[in-house]
Amino acid sequence: PDPDLIIRPSGEYRLSNFLIWQAAYSEFWFSDILWPDFTPDDLDDAIRDFAKRNRRFGGI
């Protein structure tokens, strides 16, 4: 299945064609935290933020 949420750590906003077709309707969460320092609490923050979003799946 296609991902619902893609977490991009390390303060980068580029995706470098990562899952370019599968990510069409994914939500992105960007973090300044480096991957080795990413904790379960950071994951919880991303999931909580994702749960608040109103997903439109390409609609306006």
pLDDT digits (tens, 9 = 90+) for 26-48: 999 999 999 999 999 999 999 99
What per-residue confidence (pLDDT) applies to 56? 85
Question: At 59, is the pLDDT very low, low, confident or very high (cuts 50, 70, 90)?
Answer: confident
Evaluate whether residue 18 is within a structural domain: yes
Residue carrying the six token digits 């960007």: 30
Q: Which domain holds residue 22?
A: 5-52
Evaluate whether residue 58 is within a structural domain: no
Evaluate whether residue 59 is within a structural domain: no
Question: What distances in angstroms separate CA 21 from CA 12, 24, 44, 60, one per listed residue?
Answer: 20, 6, 26, 20
Evaluate whether residue 57 is within a structural domain: no
Query: Smallest Cα–Cα separation from 31: which of 43, 18, 16?
Result: 43
What per-residue confidence (pLDDT) applies to 46? 98
